[in-house]
Structure 1
């Protein structure tokens, strides 16, 4: 018997009573049990959302309507990506451009505070949080920080009076439907799925809230089949691509950013309606250069590593930043399989969508 979708429909209006229009369905038991063995940070199970079957841990159920009904403001800036598509890199660039290149504040205040992650709280399972608290029980300051891990950022955003900078991996269809009508600016970044998968594999191993224990070939198959958080990848990219020509949307490719960072900085500056000299743009490009970026404590999640939420024996949050690093992870058979999958899905895009290298 198929699991019952978790939504309540008003018998009079025909609308969902919680204001969320899509069904949220539990993953079938056999798949769920396998995933719980592979992703040990989640303890209850996984769900798929709507006809596109966007994939999330169980915590998404309690927050879905809050994300969908979030009240965007005209001066909000959103960075939307599928995970590991240059999100952090883009965030730091955007925040600095919009804040008069305030490097001093950027170095003193973690990016997680300057540019909070909208839906992070739904990935913090209570049992996993309890483990973190037990491990840090003799450090009051650390326990306070851990207690706040699952504080919903949509609540803290409501309390902000200054301009809000919002990171999210949610696709457009799970965000407020009037997001672009409010005047909010959205920067969407896409990246080659092979590089995304490799980087996301390492993140899922590093973050104990994810706790992935398998190898890369298995992770790739989960990724390809839409069984990793925020997947399916192609549906996510398609939603961003289809809105690229709308007012207040800037669509970028990570590969183009990597190829010509200064040009990207200039493009983002124009989008944010700010202007800087060539010298200032060059300084920002140097700040964002991957060797410098990896050593920037403000952006590399060192605060979460100190709490034990990131494993110290895994790769750093900011990895190589290179395009094409996937080649070290795909054998010939897996690469053929991946190329067929990519080519099949690229047919759904118009001719102007570039083929990933």
Structure 2
């Protein structure tokens, strides 16, 4: 792949703004997707631990040599539900895919396949504190060719504006998933908790998926799911694949930016002005009122 992708325009689907990677054609097919009992959906808001959770899930579910599985690009292990791949909508491709199917999505809960919302398959949702999400999303836009990117101030303002936020307004999307945290087919986890206890979350995810792993196998999964291991692995850090670097990430050349950047808790303090922090905290307090959901911000 040598073509360099240029910025393209976002679009709206059912009142929600999406960025150009998504496909309205694929999204029209999502609700009616036939969900299998052993399907596993990994969902997260943009830049909230999706790649990390996918890596854990794929290795927990692997029956083969983990070192070999780790060489397979994550995008091949986890088709992205609301996109087109090789000219065909992913929901269509999934019809022919062998079980168990591992599926990635950034869709709000109400846009998931109806059968998944009815309890079929498994859904693992990873949430991250909103301040670090804003920063990570801004930096991704700085490096991805086809994503339009403004200044930090412009992107911040866009993020906190409901009708302009991509893939849904954070304060709508996360509470909606949280309200389903006790559904039998839902596991709700947090990025910051995984940072504190990666091994514990490998075990938690394995248990949720009905997988019994030996201590040695758990250690092997953990070793391949650390931030440093994933950053060095081109199968998870896509900006280290030369063809993808040229096609998708060339505008970041020389900047030091990578698809897997820092993976830290609290990096927002290096970006937010006092005024921006106050604005976001006011929104957060208002929108999260009444929810027993809290996040660690540092």
Q: TM-score, normalised by structure 2?
A: 0.89
Mapped pair 1:325 → 2:267: yes
Q: Matches of 1:257 and 1:57 in 2, distance apart?
A: 28
> What is the aligned counterpart of 2:17 among 39, 45, 55?
55
> In structure 1, what is the equivalent of residue 193 of structure 2?
256
Change (3 A) 1:63 1:162: closer
Q: CA RMSD in A?
A: 2.0
> What is the aligned counterpart of 1:98 among 61, 73, 94?
61
CA deviation vs aligned residue, 1:265-317 (integer Å, no higher than 9, x gap): 11111101112233332232222111111011111114462451122425111
User: Of the two, which has the highest radius of gyration?
Assistant: 1
CA deviation vs aligned residue, 1:110-169 (integer Å, no higher than 9, x gap): 110011111233xxxxxxxxxxxxxxxxxxxxxxxxxx5553211211111231100000
The answer (yes or no) to whether the contact 2:23–2:83 under 8 Å persists in 1 is no
SS for the counterpart of 1:166 is strand
Mapped pair 1:217 → 2:179: no
SS for the counterpart of 1:274 is coil
SS for the counterpart of 1:157 is helix
Q: Matches of 2:61 and 2:94 in 1, distance apart?
A: 18
Which runs of structure 2 are paired with 1:1-357 in the superposition (5 Å)?
A: 41-43=7-9, 45-47=10-12, 49=14, 53-57=15-19, 60-100=23-63, 102-121=65-84, 150-181=87-118, 183-212=120-149, 214-226=150-162, 227-301=164-238, 302-303=240-241, 305-311=244-250, 312-313=252-253, 314=255, 315-349=257-291, 352-357=292-297
Q: TM-score, normalised by structure 1?
A: 0.75
Deviation at 1:211, TM superposition (A): 3.1
Q: Matches of 1:73 and 1:209 in 2, distance apart?
A: 33
Q: Matches of 1:56 and 1:221 in 2, distance apart?
A: 16
Work out which structure has the larger RCO, using CA pairs closer than 8 Å and 6 or more positions apart in sequence.
Answer: 2
Deviation at 1:208, TM superposition (A): 1.7
Gaps of 5+ in 2: 1-5
The answer (yes or no) to whether the contact 2:44–2:127 under 8 Å persists in 1 is yes
> In structure 1, what is the equivalent of residue 3 of structure 2?
none
The answer (yes or no) to whether the contact 1:120–1:150 under 8 Å persists in 2 is no
The answer (yes or no) to whether the contact 2:119–2:183 under 8 Å persists in 1 is no
Name whichever of 329-338 and 276-285 sits farther off: 276-285
Change (3 A) 1:150 1:345: farther
Deviation at 1:180, TM superposition (A): 4.1
Q: Matches of 1:102 and 1:221 in 2, distance apart?
A: 46
Change (3 A) 1:285 1:345: same
How many residue pairs match? The answer is 285
